Structure 1
Amino acid sequence: MTDRAFRTTGLIYAMVGTILFGAKGIVMKLALDVGSTVEQMMTLRMGFSLPIFLIIGLLSLRKRPAKPEMKSMLLAAGLGILSYHLCTWLDFQGLRFTSAQLERLILFSYPTIVALLAWIFLGEKLTVRHAVSLGLSYAGIFLLFGRELSQQGQDVLFGSMLVFIAAILFAIYVTGSKPVIAKLGSPLFTSIAMSAAGVSILIHSSITVGMGDMPEFSPLILTYGVILAIFCTALPSFMLSEAISRLGPGPTSAIGNVGPVATSVLAVIVLNENFGWPHAGALILSSIGIGLLSTSKPKTAGTPLIETGQSPKNAG
């Protein structure tokens, strides 16, 4: 494969993966509307996707000339539980109280949180570009947040806080994932991370619901579970990890700007959510803000923390 074809396929992986991950909130909203719970959908999501991750992980291990370090595998497992269990739970709970569009914008802000973490804990300087990015990104979020708060009340505040906490935790995941991906490779890292999260979610579900007392799922909820597991979890997870390995984190993150736009289009078409000037303004402000940050060039050793992860799309 030529270098151009290699990068072109990376571009396709990043674009399609971002859109599929963005559809996660749409499918979750549909499932909640027909009576499913957050815990049920998390269980179905991981129950259907776990075999895929286990198979890919075993195949990746067989192809490796040497066995990976246990430390790297444990780090991948821990990062997976952080991102795909805890972050997902917070994100899905937040979706009960916010629109899919606001949820996606809040998660989309995670690169700004990575920059702030680097400033607070690593002593990195915040440049003018960082300041402008932060201002634009959060201006967009607060524009849409204010609109929903005035229309739906205090529940929006609670839901937004849950999603924002998920974004903070995902920023931590992003910061730690790049060096582990470099050691394990994207397929094996993704398989270990998602498998660990799947096992922890199934344990969580068995404790919450009770062993042998699993509820019956309607055919429609099962269908949403399959869609969530295959098309909004397994496929985009591998696509985006592979995109990072082909394009690098910066370009992949920049391509992730399409995520909130795709989510807004799907939310309007599928969920019949409103779309007016606050939504358009919020999208423009946040996309420009994150675009500035994701295309910035690191000047110091610590700055790559801003660019070490995945595109702004897949928390949870």
Structure 2
Amino acid sequence: MHSQQLNSHTRQHYLGGLAIAIAGAILFSTKAIVAKLIYRYQVDAVTLITFRMAFSLPIFAAIAVWQMRNSSPLPVSDRWRLVGLGLVGYYLSSFLDFLGLQYITAGLERLILFLTPSFVLLMSAVWYRRKVSMLEWAALVVSYFGIVLVFLHDLEFGGKDVLLGSAMVLGAAVSYAVYLIQSGQMVRQLGSLRLVSYAMCVSSVACIGQFFALRPVSMLLQPAPVYFLSVINAIFCTVLPVFMTMIAVQRIGAATASQAGMIGPVSTLFLGAFFLAEPITGWQIAGTVLVMGGMYLLTRKKM
């Protein structure tokens, strides 16, 4: 009886973690939908990302201060590394992502970003001489073929804009992959909560500073829906997914959480159709299945 209760509790704990991981992945993917809705008000990428980071900064700053009070001071070298990680991982990656979203569909954007684990694998092979197995090469070929299918389909209708937007989002995925590789040691040293809060504060300051350097202050005056959507973007598409993913990883492990994240591209495809009237074609579904299949093979290998 006691064993059954224990198994039931363990299963509930696992299912709860899985639900949190899925919800976090969907919320994070919704970022592209919200950005597209904001762009309808003639807001540019610099202003969009400024509002996103400005509304999320108080939360991350509060967590960073709390972490500082309960932790020993960082050496100067680690502080500079954190600044670099914040600029590459969240500032540059987010900026390129939102720039690219001006030119491509939310579905294609999410698929390209979903290739980040494959870039981590390739960079590890180049920088750290990590051996890539035949299964991993097969996973890369399958997933990249899926991207090519969707890209060529969108290119037919969007022309050079699709090429430009895809290149920008690809740059976002690569820069975030660099962040993931370089942050590995610091995560073990600082913990994920402390690292993320510090890096997000650095990124937020960079984004807000960029706005005042490139745009007039008058551009902070926007229609009410822009503020409303920006708060959603900051809280529900940035802050909550970050913490939900961390909780899910603690409950069910990184491998299972990353597999649950595969719901992201699918949710973006259907959310884009519902909110943005983006078409869902057979080519897009086929490409999405291939990309998800390739990434699934990679996560299975890690296990």
Taking structure 2 as the reference length, the TM-score comes to: 0.91
Partner of 2:255: 250
Paired residues in the alignment total 296
In the TM superposition, 1:83-232 aligns within 5 A as: 83-210=89-216, 212-232=217-237
Is contact 1:22-1:259 (8 Å) kept?
A: yes
For residue 3 of structure 2, what is the aligned residue in structure 1? Answer: none
Query: 2:39 corresponds to which letter in structure 1?
Result: L
State the AA in 1 paired with 2:37.
L
What's the CA shift for 1:188?
1.5
2:297 matches 1:295: no
Offset, 1:37: 1.1
Match among 238, 242, 250 for residue 237 of structure 1: 242
Q: Is the 1:49–1:229 Cα contact (8 Å) retained in structure 2?
A: yes
Identity between Structure 1 and Structure 2 (%) = 34
1:45, 1:228 within 8 Å by CA — same for their partners in 2? yes
Structure 1 residue ranges without an equivalent (≥5):
299-316
Match of 1:60 in 2: 67
Q: Contact conserved, 1:251 with 1:295, CA < 8 A, in 2?
A: no
In 1, distance between residues paired with 2:273 and 2:63? 35
Indicate the residue corresponding to 1:303 in structure 2: none
Deviation at 1:174, TM superposition (A): 1.2
Q: 2: CA distance between counterparts of 1:9 and 1:124?
A: 35
2:221 alignment partner, SS class: coil
Note closer, same or farther for the CA distance 1:260–1:182 as it changes in structure 2 (3 Å cut): same
Moved more, 234-243 or 286-295: 234-243
Cα distance, 1:4 vs structure 2: 5.6
Matched, 1:50 2:57: yes
Compare 238-247 and 226-235 and name the one that shifted more.
Answer: 238-247
Change (3 A) 1:67 1:12: farther
Q: Secondary structure at the match of 2:296?
A: helix
Counterpart selection for 1:286 from 285, 291, 297: 291
Change (3 A) 1:175 1:246: farther
TM-score (ref. length: structure 1): 0.87
CA 28–129 in structure 1, closer or farther in 2 if over 3 Å, else same: same
Query: What's 2:35 paired with?
Result: 28
Aligned in 2, Cα 1:9/1:176: closer, same or farther, shift over 3 Å? Answer: farther
5+ long unaligned stretches in structure 2? 1-5
* Cα shift at 1:279: 1.1
1:193 corresponds to which letter in structure 2? A
Aligned to 1:16: 23
Q: Which amino acid aligns with 1:200?
A: A
Tell me how far apart the structure 1 counterparts of residues 229 and 77 of structure 2 sit (CA, whole Å).
Answer: 36
CA deviation map 1:214-244 (0-9, x unaligned)? 4411101111111111111111112223333
**Radius of gyration: which is bigger?**
2
Instruction: Tell me which moved more, 70-79 or 217-226.
Output: 70-79
After TM superposition, give the deviation of residue 114 of structure 1 in Å: 1.1
Post-superposition Cα deviations, 1:139-167, rounded to whole Å, max 9, x if no partner, equal 11010001011111111111111111111
Equivalent in the alignment of 1:313: none
Q: Secondary structure in 2 aligned to 1:296? A: helix
Alpha-carbon distance, 1:190 to partner: 1.5
Encode CA deviations 1:110-149: one digit per residue, 9 max, x unaligned.
1111111122222222211111111111111010001011
How far does residue 252 in structure 1 lie from its aligned partner after superposition? 2.0
